[in-house]
């Protein structure tokens, strides 16, 4: 069965994976330079780019080897690589290498939108996925509600008008003196706290499905300055409850408006325990299937990029070797 090699280098993960035509993950390798960034409280683009340069070759060789393929001349149907959005220096490392391998091995190459990649993650774990599907895609760089009519057919219903949900988690964690990335730290602490301890607003934007987190961020800063005695775990629980409340309210609104067969989570924030429980409950309420990818599939990986490549290759959409990286490539512009 023909397989596609996927490559992901848009941020701090250097990843490669092999996925077959039935969307089965044959191999998947992920290395992260996150340890180099922790001290700076965020990903340092220059460091991430350099790490990809040294790590990508071995990671691709390992993914091919694990899939039982010859790393020097693999029998693959194509190479899919993230060409945006993301950090320009990091994107260029993966894109340039993918072009070189595509030329050397004489196979087609496909530039994949990173966000479309995230949308393919649930499909890799459930081949019985049914459409239309409503997906809440929440990561460190993006937050949006997407209506999927089928693989590769998506309609962005709304997105954040300021910060991404993960970005808000990371910034609040930093304000509270917690480590980076902040999402897992706050999620962990929140389980030991009381959500009602701090009164926080649930942001509601004018548009039905747009999201906003910057007002909440300011409210947390003000409230913690005013009530210095509130325990850290209670602050974490109150913040987490406000974030999830907004996300779930918007998602519920979309479920009421559009008749879908399932609701899915994607992106790094999809690892959040409260959000996962909330989406599960929402799915039950509407009698549809909840697709909650495993934590490894929520965060950045190359299997999701390879999956998008399998789809694009299947409909005959390959890229020209002159394709350049687009650090701001919008999901709504993917056709």
Site for ligand KG4, rule CB under 6 A? 11, 139-141, 166, 169-170, 181-184, 187, 267-269, 271-272, 299-300
* Cβ-Cβ contacts under 8 Å for 236 (sequence gap 6 or more): 176, 186, 189, 190, 193
Q: Which is nearer to Zn ion, 170 or 300 (CB)?
A: 300
- Cβ(70)–Cβ(100) below 8 Å: no
Do residues 269 and 295 make contact, with C-beta atoms less than 8 angstroms apart?
no
Q: Would you report the helix, strand and coil content of the chain in percent, each value rounded to 5?
A: 45, 20, 35
Min CB(250)–ligand KG4 separation in Å = 17
* Minimum gap (Å) between residue 37 Cβ and Zn ion: 15
Output the smallest distance, CB 85 to ligand KG4, in A: 9
Which residue number, 41 or 57, has a Cβ lying nearer to ligand KG4?
41
Determine the Cα–Cα distance for residues 232 and 198; give it in Å rounded to an integer: 11
* Complex with ligand KG4: residue 75 or 332, whichever CB lies closer: 332
Q: How far is the CB of 139 from Zn ion (least distance, A)?
A: 4
Do the beta carbons of residue 302 and residue 25 sit within 8 Å? no
> Which one of Zn ion, ligand KG4, none is in contact with 170 (Cβ closer than 5 to 8 A by kind)?
ligand KG4
We find the least distance from the C-beta atom of residue 118 to ligand KG4, in angstroms, to be: 7
For residue 158, the partner it binds in ligand KG4, Zn ion, none, with Cβ less than 5 to 8 A by kind, is none
CA dist 165 → 36, 40, 44, 245, 301 (Å) = 23, 20, 20, 12, 19
> Which of ligand KG4, Zn ion, none has residue 224 at its interface (CB below 5 to 8 Å by kind)?
none
Neighbour order of strands in the sheet with 3-8 = 25-32, 13-20, 3-8, 78-84, 109-113
Closest to 139 in 3D by CA, of 157, 115, 121, 120? 115
* Closest to 43 measured CA to CA, from 51, 34, 52: 34
Tokens of 170: 């990371």
Binder of residue 185, out of Zn ion, ligand KG4, none (CB less than 5 to 8 A by kind): none
Q: Give whichever of 170 and 234 is closer to ligand KG4, judged by the CB atom.
A: 170
**CB under 8 Å to 197, separation ≥6 — which residues?**
230, 231, 234, 235, 237, 238
Cβ at position 283, least distance to ligand KG4 in Å: 19
Residue 272 contact partner, candidates ligand KG4, Zn ion, none, CB within 5 to 8 A by sort of partner: ligand KG4
- Residue 170 CB, nearest distance to ligand KG4 (Å)? 5
Contacted by 210, from ligand KG4, Zn ion, none: CB < 5 to 8 Å by type: none
**What is the closest distance, in whole angstroms, from the C-beta atom of residue 140 to ligand KG4 in the complex?**
3
Number of residues that this document lists for the chain: 335
- Which of ligand KG4, Zn ion, none sits in contact with 78, Cβ below 5 to 8 A by type? none
Cis peptide before 16 (omega within 30 of 0): no
Question: Where does this chain bind Zn ion (CB under 5 A)?
Answer: 139, 300
Cα 32 → chain centroid: 15
Task: Pick the closer one to ligand KG4 by CB: 177 or 316.
Answer: 177
Using the minimum distance from each CB to ligand KG4, give the nearer residue, 271 or 282: 271
Q: Which of Zn ion, ligand KG4, none interacts with 84 (beta carbon under 5 to 8 A by kind)?
A: none
């Amino acid at each position: 069965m023909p397989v596609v090699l996927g490559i992901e280098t848009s941020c701090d993960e250097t990843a490669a994976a092999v996925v077959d035509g039935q969307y089965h993950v044959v191999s998947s390798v992920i290395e992260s330079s996150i340890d180099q960034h922790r001290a700076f409280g965020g990903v340092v683009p220059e460091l991430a780019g350099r790490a990809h340069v040294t790590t990508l070759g071995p990671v691709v060789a390992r993914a091919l080897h694990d899939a039982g393929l010859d790393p020097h001349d693999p029998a693959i149907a194509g190479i899919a690589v993230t060409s945006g959005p993301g950090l320009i220096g990091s994107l260029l490392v993966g894109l340039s290498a993918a072009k070189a391998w595509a030329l050397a091995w004489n196979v087609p190459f496909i530039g994949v939108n990173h966000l479309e990649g995230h949308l393919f993650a649930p499909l890799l774990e459930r081949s019985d996925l049914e459409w239309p599907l409503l997906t809440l895609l929440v990561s460190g760089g993006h937050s949006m509600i997407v209506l999927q009519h089928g693989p590769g057919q998506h309609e962005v219903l709304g997105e954040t008008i300021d910060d991404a949900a993960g970005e808000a988690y990371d910034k609040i964690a930093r304000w509270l003196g917690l480590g980076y990335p902040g999402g897992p730290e706050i999620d962990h602490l929140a389980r030991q706290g009381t959500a009602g301890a701090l009164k926080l607003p649930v942001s509601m934007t004018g548009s039905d499905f747009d999201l906003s987190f910057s007002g909440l961020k300011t409210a947390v800063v003000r409230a913690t300055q005013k009530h210095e005695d509130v325990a850290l775990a209670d602050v974490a629980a109150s913040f987490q409850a406000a974030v999830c409340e907004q996300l779930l309210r918007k998602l519920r609104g979309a479920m009421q408006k559009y008749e879908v067969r399932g609701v899915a989570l994607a992106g790094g924030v999809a690892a959040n325990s409260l959000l996962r429980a909330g989406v599960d409950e929402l799915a039950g309420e509407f009698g549809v299937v909840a697709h909650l990818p495993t934590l490894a599939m929520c965060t950045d990986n190359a299997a999701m990029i390879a999956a998008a490549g399998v789809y694009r290759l299947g409909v005959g959409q390959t890229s020209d070797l002159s394709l350049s990286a687009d650090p701001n490539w919008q999901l709504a512009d993917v056709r």
